[in-house]
Amino acid sequence: MDFEDTKEEAAFRSEVCAWLEANAPSEKDDAADFMGERGGAGWMKAQRAWQAKKAKAGYACITWPKEVGGYGGTPIQQVIFNQEEGKFHVGGNSPFAIGLGMCIPTLMAYGDKESIGRYVKPALLGEEIWCQLFSEPAGGSDVAGLRMRAEKNGDEWIVNGQKIWTTGAQFSDYGILLTRTDPNAAKHKGLTMFYLSMKAPGVEVRPIKQASGASGFNEVFFTDVKIPDSQRLGEVGQGWGVALTTLMHERLAVGGGTGGSLDVKELIALARNLELEDGPALKNASVRERIADWYVRSAGLKYTTYRTMTALSRGQQPGPEASIAKIVVAPKLQDLSAFAMELEGEAGALKGDDAPMHGAFQMGWMGAPGLRIAGGTDEILRNIIAERVLGLPPDVRVDKDIPFNKLPSGR
Amino acid sequence: MDFEDTKEEAAFRSEVCAWLEANAPSEKDDAADFMGERGGAGWMKAQRAWQAKKAKAGYACITWPKEVGGYGGTPIQQVIFNQEEGKFHVGGNSPFAIGLGMCIPTLMAYGDKESIGRYVKPALLGEEIWCQLFSEPAGGSDVAGLRMRAEKNGDEWIVNGQKIWTTGAQFSDYGILLTRTDPNAAKHKGLTMFYLSMKAPGVEVRPIKQASGASGFNEVFFTDVKIPDSQRLGEVGQGWGVALTTLMHERLAVGGGTGGSLDVKELIALARNLELEDGPALKNASVRERIADWYVRSAGLKYTTYRTMTALSRGQQPGPEASIAKIVVAPKLQDLSAFAMELEGEAGALKGDDAPMHGAFQMGWMGAPGLRIAGGTDEILRNIIAERVLGLPPDVRVDKDIPFNKLPSGR
Amino acid sequence: MNFDFSDDQKLLKDQARKFLTEKCTSKAVRRVLEGTQGHDAALWKGVAEMGWLGTAIPENYGGLGLGYLELCVIAEELGRVLAPVPFSSTVYLFAEAVLAAGSEEQKQKLLPKIAAGELIGTFARAEGPGAVTAKNIRVTFKGGKLSGKKIAVVDGMDSDYAVVLARGSDEPGERGLTLALVDLKAAGVSRRAQDSIDPSRKHAEIIFDNAPAEALGKIGEGWVTANNVLNRAAVLMAFEQVGGADICLAMSKDHAMSRYAFGRPIGSFQAIKHKLADMYVNNELARSNAYYGAWALSTNARELPLAAAAARVAATQAFDYAAKESTQTHGGIGFTWEVDCHLFYKRSRELGLALGPQRAWKDKLVTELELSNAA
Amino acid sequence: MNFDFSDDQKLLKDQARKFLTEKCTSKAVRRVLEGTQGHDAALWKGVAEMGWLGTAIPENYGGLGLGYLELCVIAEELGRVLAPVPFSSTVYLFAEAVLAAGSEEQKQKLLPKIAAGELIGTFARAEGPGAVTAKNIRVTFKGGKLSGKKIAVVDGMDSDYAVVLARGSDEPGERGLTLALVDLKAAGVSRRAQDSIDPSRKHAEIIFDNAPAEALGKIGEGWVTANNVLNRAAVLMAFEQVGGADICLAMSKDHAMSRYAFGRPIGSFQAIKHKLADMYVNNELARSNAYYGAWALSTNARELPLAAAAARVAATQAFDYAAKESTQTHGGIGFTWEVDCHLFYKRSRELGLALGPQRAWKDKLVTELELSNAA
C-alpha cells in the first residue's frame, strides 16, 4: 500500500509535466485571463486557446481513441493529467467540460457519420461549445417528467417549451435536447433526443438569478424552433435510453468534490484569530470537536478518491464509493459555514470585506443550498445509493404504464 | 399567562389532596410493596388495594360517567388527580392502565349490555386485569397486517396464531383480541374483534427476553382457542374500525414523556464529578453545549405539556403538539446516555455499581432502542405527524383493495 | 393552568396579521432587500399608527402600557412577514435599555418619541469578530465624550440614537463598563453602511470621535444592564424567529402538496414527510420555550435569564433548520432569487447572530442551570 | 496510486473469513456473552494455530513477520464476527507495548509465547471514571513493586500478564510515568470481574498490593510509549469497528428486503432507504480513514498520530450509527435477545470506549492538525 505511480504512470506523468512546462500559459501571459469573469471575453479567449493546445497534443480527451483526436489512454492517465494541469494557472471550471464530457459522447454513440465528422473535432479544439438541455420546471429530480413538445412536421420537428438549469447556455453553440414526442405514451416511452444549434431561430436564453445574487444557470425558451429529423439522436421514443447514457456521465462529473474549497483548513485559520467567551477559539472544546468531525469526513472523502484511483490504476471499475462525494461535501459546507459565522458573532452577519476572511464563509453558506440541490438533491442521491449501490427495492412507481398526459401533475 | 389553577380546579385539587392524605398508603404500610418487583405478589396486592380504594371514591376513572363508576369529571381533573397522586408512594406503572385506558372503553363502545354489566366494575375495582392483543410478528408497524386466524364454527370461533409485545399478559384475566376472519377480503376489511379469558384452554403466555435482559413484554400463542360469538366486539369484518378506537387511546397513553426520567439534570450531576483532559467536565465547552441542546428540548416538551393542559383546562381539544413527546424523548435518551458514557471514559463500559451513578446511563442506553420502537417507531410517528398533523398526502398504498392472502408478504 | 395567551391577546394577534398581510408583502421586503433604503418608511409609519411601538411603554410615557405578552404576539407577526422595519432595534433593545436604566428625564425625553414613531434607536455592542466580552470592549466613554468603533450595528444608518456599551471608568472588566446614550446626528459620529447577509436588515459601522454622549444608568453597571436588556430582547426576538420558522414550514407544506414528481405530490415521499415532521417538532418546542420566556418577561420572574436563553437557543435552532430545509424542499426554484425561500434563509441566520450567537446563549443557559440546579 | 490491499493480503482476508464463518458463529459469541468464561478457548486455540497472533511479530521472536497490513485485514474479519477472544488486548496492545519498549530479554521471553497462543496479555490504563490524564495516574511502581488499582481492564481476568501505566518516579506529570510489566498470577495481585455493557468482552478490576513487577522501557517514558501503543491499537481496532459496522449494514439490508409492511418490503420506504444510505456513507468514509491509518501504521509514518485519531473517530462514529440504526431498522425483534442486533449494539459502544472515548481522540486529532497545519 502506497501512493506511488506504477512505472507506466510515472512515465506518463513526466511526459505530461514536460509538456505542461513547455506549453501551459505562465502567470505573465494570458494565464491572468483565467482568473477573469466566467464567460467574459478574456476568459473565453484563454480557455479556447488552452483547449486547442491540449487537443492538438492529444491531451484534451485522454480516454478517447486516437482516431477521434483522443490519446487512446486510460482513466488513470486522465486523472494524472488533471492533477498536473491543476498545478498551473489554467483555470479549470472549463466551458468545454459538459460538451466533451456528456454531449459529444452521446453524439458519438447515437449520431450518424456526418454529424460525428462535423462536430467532434471543433468541440475538441474548443471552437464550438455544447450544453445539455434536459431539466425543465416540471422535471427536476424527475427528469423524465419533462413536457417540452416536439411535433413532427414533414422531415423536421417543431419544438415548443422551456428548459431550465442549463449551464453555459449563454455561450454555447450547440446543445443536446430531450423532448416529448408522444404525450400519449408512458412517461419514459414518449421521449426523443435531438441536437440543435443554440443560434436557431426561436431559442432564447435567459440567465437565472440565484439566491446568492449570482447567475450560474440559464432558462432556455423554445418557440416554434425547427429541428431537422437528421439531428435526431436515437430512435423516436427512445430518448430516455439516450439520456441515461448522458446522465451516467453527469453523475461522474458532478460527483467530484465540488465546493470542497472551503473546509476544515479555513475553519482552523479563522479559529486561530478569534477570541471566544472562554479564550482562544481554537482551544474551545466545542470548536475542536466540530473541526475533528468535519476533518474525518473530508479526509475520508480524500482517501476514498485514492481508493477509486487505485481501482482505475489497476484497470478495475471504480466501486460505488465514488458516488458519495457530493452528499458529504454539500451539507458539510452548509453546516461548517454556519458554524464559522457563529464563531464570528455579530460580525458573522456581515458580508464581503466587512466579514473575516473576506466573507468566505458567508459565501460558502449562500452557495450551499444550491450545491445540495444541483446535479441531484441530497434525497435523490440517497435513493441512488440505496437502490443502485445497496440494491434496495425501488419506491412504488405510479407513473409507469400510464399515458404521460394522464399522469397527475398537480396542474 | 400563569401556571395557576382556575377556581374550580383549585377546589378539585384540594378535595383530591384531602382524600389522598386520608387514604393514600403511607411509607410505613404497604407503600413499600409498590417498589417491589412488577407483577410480584406484594406489588400486585398493593396495586389492587389502592385501585379499589380509588374506584370506590370515584377517582379510578375520573372522566367516566358516574353511572359506570367514574367521577363524571373533565380531562384536566384527571391530570390534577394524577399530579397529586404522583406525590405519594403509590407506584404508578399501574397494571390496570391498559385495561381501563383501552380495553374497557372499547368494550363499553361495542359490547352488549350483559358484558358491560359483567366486566366494567371488576376492572374498575382492580379485581380483573385486561390486556390488548393486536400486534403480531407479521404485523408490527403495520398492525392491520396481522394473520391470526379465527374461523366460525357454529356459534363459536376457533382461533389459531400468535400475538406479540403483549404488556401484562402474564397477569391478565381477560384480553381484547383482533383476528382475521376473512383472508379473502382486503387487508383492513377481513378483521374481527373479540374479547376472551386469558385462562381459556389453548392460550399460552411466554415472556420475551429483551436485549437489556429484562422482560417487559410477552408472546401469546393461541391453539384452537374457542371464543363464543357473544364475545365478538362489533360486526364481523369491522374489526379495524373497532381497533382504531382502541389505538387512539394508546397513542395518548404512550405519548406521555416516557423514559424522561434520565435527563439533563442527571447529566449535570455526572459532569460535576468528572475530570476531563482539560479540567472539570462541567466547564468543558462541548459538554455545556450538549447540556444546553438537550435542555431546550426537555424544557420545550415540559412547556408543551403545559400548553396541552391549558387547552384541557379551557375545555378545548388539545392540539397536535401532544403527539411529539416520544419522538423527542426516545432519541434524546439514547444520545444523552451514549454521551454520558463517553464522559465516563473506560469506566463507561462498566455496568451496575461498577459504573458511575449505579450505571444509570448504561441502563438508559440499553433501554433506548426499545423506547424508539415500542408504541410506534420514530419513523411511524413522523408519518403520523406529517399526515395527521400537517395533512400531507399518505404514502402510496399497494395493500388496499387486494385480497389479504394475495398480498406480497416476503414469505 | 393558564399557559397560553388570553383571548384579547389573540385578538390583537389577528389584527396584526390582517394589517401585515396587507401592508407587508414579500414585495415590500424585497424593496428594502434590493434597495438602499434602510427600512420601509410607509410600513414604519403604519406600525406607529397601530400603536405597536408603545405596546409595552407605560402610558405616562406616551405608550399603551399593555405589557409584554402583547408585545410578544406582535413580534411573532412581524417575524412571519420579515417586516423590514427597525422594530427590534428600537423597541426590544433601545426602548428596553431606556426603561431599564434611563433617568426620569431621559425617559420623558425619549419614550414618547419612540411610541409616536418619531425616534429610531439601536443598541451597539460588538467591536469586531468573535465574542463580545467585558474585556474586549474598547470604546471609551469619558467626560461625556464617546470614542471608538462599533460594528454590525443593526439599523445603524437609520437610527437617531444609540445605546452604546462602552468603557466608562478604569475599573477592570465588567465593573468598568457603562451604557452611553448618544445622538447619532451629533458631531463626532460617522457611520458607514456594511454589507449584510440579509440586506432586508441593514447594518452599519459607527465611529465615535469624542462624540457628545450621556450615561444611561450608573457608571459601572453597563454590563449588567446590557445583559438584562439582551435577555428581554431575546424573548421578543424568539417570537419573531418562531413566526419565521412557521412560515417556512407552511411554504414547504404548500409546495410539497402542489409539486408533483414521479406522478405523486412530493409530500407523499417519506424523505419530505419526515423533514417536515422534524420542522414541526422543532417549531413546537421553540414555541413552548418562547411562551415560557414570555411568562418570565411579563412577570419579571427571576427565571428570566434561563427562560430567555432557552427561548433564544430553541428559536434559533428551529428557524435555522426550517429555513434551510424549506429551501431544500423547494428544490431548484428554492435557491432562485424570485422564490421567497432565500428571504427566510438570510433572515434566519441574521436573527441568529444579531443578539449574539447560540454558543454564547448556551453558555449562559448552563451557567443558570448550575446556579439554579434546576433542569 | 496503490492505496489498497495487495492480492496476497486479500487472499489472507478470504481465508480468515472462511475460518471465522465456520468457527465463530453468533452462537459462539453468545456462549461467552451469557456465560462466565472470559473468552472462547477453542476459537483462541484455532486463531493461534492459524498463526494470526504472530502476524506482525518478527520471525526471530516466533512470529510470521508478515506486517501490519496483514494484521489489519485479520482485524476486520474478527470485527465482523465479534470474535470473543482476547485478540486486541494481547496483540494490539500488550504485544505492541513489548515490541515498542521491551528489552531484548523481555521480547525473547514474551513474544514467542504470544505467537504460540500460550500467553494472554492486556494493558491497564484507567483508574476511575473520566479522562485518563498523566496527573490522575495514581498506581505507583517503586523498587520493583506495583501498588494501586486499575479498572475496566479488558480481558483482565483471563490475562497472564499486563502492561500497567504507573507512576514510576516523583517527577511531576507525564515525565513521572512508566510502563510496568506484571505477572498477574504473582502474589500481591487480586482481580475482580466487573459487569460490562458487552459481556462478550469481560472486564476486570485489578488491585496491586506491592506486586512484583519490572519496568517495560525507560523510567519516565511511560506516557509517550503508552500513547504510541494506543495509536497503533486504534488503527487495528478501527478495522474491527469497520468490520462490525459493515455487518450491521448487511443485516439491515437483508431485513429491509425480506420484511414486508403495508404490502411492500420495508426497504422500499425512503425512511429505511436513506437510513441505510447514510450507514453506507459513514462506513465508506470510516473504511478510507482506516486504510490511511493502515498505511501510516505499516510504514511508521510520522502522520501516524493524525491518521490513527482520524481512523479511530470515523470508525467509532460509523459503528455507533450502524449498530443503533440496524436495531431500529429491525423494529420490535431488533431489541429482543434472540436477534443479533444487540450483540453489535453492545460491542459498538464497548469498542468505542475501550481505547478511550471519541472526545479524547478528537482532541488529539486537532492537536496534530495544529502542529502539522495540514487538513
Provide mean pLDDT across the span A32-38. 74
Q: Is B380 on the interface with C (CB under 8 A)?
A: no
Nearest to B303 among C268, C273, C292 (CB): C292
The residue of chain D with its CA nearest to that of B279 is: D131
Nearest to B382 among C6, C253, C273 (CB): C273
CB contact under 8 A, B397 and D262: yes
Q: In terms of pLDDT, which residue wins out, D312 or A137? A: D312
Strand partners, B149: B160, B180
Size of interface A-D (CB pairs under 8 A): 170
Mutation to test the D interface, candidates C266, C268, C270, most D Cβ within 10 Å: C270
pLDDT band at A90 (very low <50, low <70, confident <90, very high): confident
pLDDT higher than 70, residue A250: no
- Nearest by Cα to B220 from B161, B149, B143, B174: B161
CB-CB neighbors (< 8 A) of B292 in chain A: none
- Nearest by Cα to D327 from D353, D351, D346, D313: D346
CB-CB neighbors (< 8 A) of C196 in chain A: 349-351
CA atoms within 13 A on the CB side of A384: 21
Nearest to D126 among B277, B347, B397 (CB): B347
pLDDT at site C357: 97
Q: Is D268 on the interface with C (CB under 8 A)?
A: no
Give the distance from CA B381 to its chain's centroid.
Answer: 15
pLDDT band at B254 (very low <50, low <70, confident <90, very high): very low
What are D122-151's pLDDT values in tens digits?
999 999 999 999 999 999 999 999 999 999
DSSP B190: S
C-beta of residue B68 within 8 angstroms of C-beta of residue B60: no
Residues making up chain D, counted from first to last: 375
CB-CB neighbors (< 8 A) of C269 in chain D: 270
Provide mean pLDDT across the span D259-263. 93
Per-residue pLDDT tens, chain C, 375 aa: give them. 899 999 999 999 999 999 999 999 999 999 999 999 999 999 999 999 999 999 999 999 999 999 999 999 999 999 999 999 999 999 999 999 999 999 999 999 999 999 999 999 999 999 999 999 999 999 999 999 999 999 999 999 999 999 999 999 999 899 999 999 999 999 999 999 999 999 999 999 999 999 999 999 999 999 999 999 999 999 999 999 999 999 999 999 999 999 999 999 999 999 999 999 999 999 999 999 999 999 999 999 999 999 999 999 999 999 999 999 999 999 999 999 999 999 999 999 999 999 999 999 999 999 999 998 654
The residue of chain C with its CA nearest to that of D274 is: C271
Nearest to D281 among A299, A312, A328 (CB): A328
pLDDT at site B164: 95
Read off the C-alpha cell for D284: 465508506
Contacts of C337 (CB under 8 A, 6+ apart): A208, A209, A210, A211, A213
CB-CB neighbors (< 8 A) of C5 in chain B: 1
Provide mean pLDDT across the span A96-106. 93
pLDDT band at D183 (very low <50, low <70, confident <90, very high): very high
Question: Distance (Å) from the C-alpha of residue B371 to the closest C-alpha of chain D?
Answer: 10
- Nearest-Å Rg of the Cα atoms of chain A is 23
Question: Distance (Å) from the C-alpha of residue B24 to the closest C-alpha of chain D?
Answer: 37
Sign of CA dihedral C163, C165, C166, C172: positive
CB contact under 8 A, B373 and D331: yes
Q: Is D300 on the interface with C (CB under 8 A)?
A: no
Provide mean pLDDT across the span A327-335. 95
CB contact under 8 A, C278 and B392: no
CB contact under 8 A, D271 and C270: yes
pLDDT at site B381: 93
C-beta of residue C298 within 8 angstroms of C-beta of residue C357: no
What are B60-115's pLDDT values in tens digits?
999 999 999 999 999 899 989 988 998 887 766 789 999 999 999 999 999 999 99
Provide mean pLDDT across the span A358-367. 95
pLDDT at site B256: 41
Nearest to A300 among D5, D274, D289 (CB): D289
Question: Distance (Å) from the C-alpha of residue D39 to the closest C-alpha of chain A?
Answer: 33
CB contact under 8 A, D336 and B344: no
C-beta of residue D71 within 8 angstroms of C-beta of residue D137: no
- Cα(C293)–Cα(C307) distance, rounded to whole angstroms? 5
pLDDT at site B322: 65
- Cα(D281)–Cα(D348) distance, rounded to whole angstroms? 17
Question: Helix crossing, C341-354 with C222-258: angle to 10°?
Answer: 160
CB contact under 8 A, A343 and C130: yes
Question: Distance (Å) from the C-alpha of residue A285 to the closest C-alpha of chain B?
Answer: 5
**Whole-model pTM over 0.80:** yes
The residue of chain C with its CA nearest to that of B391 is: C253
- Cα(D114)–Cα(D112) distance, rounded to whole angstroms? 5
The residue of chain D with its CA nearest to that of C269 is: D270
Provide mean pLDDT across the span D242-271. 96
Burial class of residue D370 in the structure, from the number of CB atoms within 10 Å of its CB (0-12 exposed, 13-18 middle, 19+ buried): middle
pLDDT higher than 90, residue B250: no
pLDDT higher than 70, residue A256: no
Nearest to A292 among D256, D284, D313 (CB): D313
Question: Distance (Å) from the C-alpha of residue D271 to the closest C-alpha of chain C?
Answer: 6
The residue of chain B with its CA nearest to that of D205 is: B354
Q: Is B393 on the interface with C (CB under 8 A)?
A: yes
What are A102-144's pLDDT values in tens digits?
999 999 999 999 999 999 999 999 999 999 999 999 888 899 9
Window 32-91 of B: residues touching C by CB (8 A cutoff) are 76
Read off the C-alpha cell for C340: 421567497
CB contact under 8 A, A277 and C133: yes
Nearest to B211 among D272, D342, D350 (CB): D342
pLDDT at site D373: 67
pLDDT higher than 80, residue B186: yes
Listed ranges A278-282, A404-408, D315-319; the one with the highest mean pLDDT:
D315-319
Other chains touching D, judged by 3 or more CB pairs under 8 Å: A, B, C
Q: In terms of pLDDT, which residue wins out, C3 or A255? A: C3
Q: Is D271 on the interface with C (CB under 8 A)?
A: yes
Nearest to A409 among C129, C260, C350 (CB): C260
Nearest to C360 among A277, A281, A407 (CB): A277
CB contact under 8 A, D1 and A288: no
pLDDT band at B29 (very low <50, low <70, confident <90, very high): low
CB-CB neighbors (< 8 A) of D271 in chain C: 270-271, 274
pLDDT band at B40 (very low <50, low <70, confident <90, very high): confident
Contacts of D100 (CB under 8 A, 6+ apart): D217, D225, D228, D229, D232
Helix (H, G, I), strand (E, B) or coil at A260: coil
Nearest to A397 among C196, C197, C262 (CB): C262
The residue of chain C with its CA nearest to that of B291 is: C366
The torsion of the CA quartet D35, D36, D38, D41, rounded to 10 degrees, works out to -70
CB contact under 8 A, A398 and B396: yes
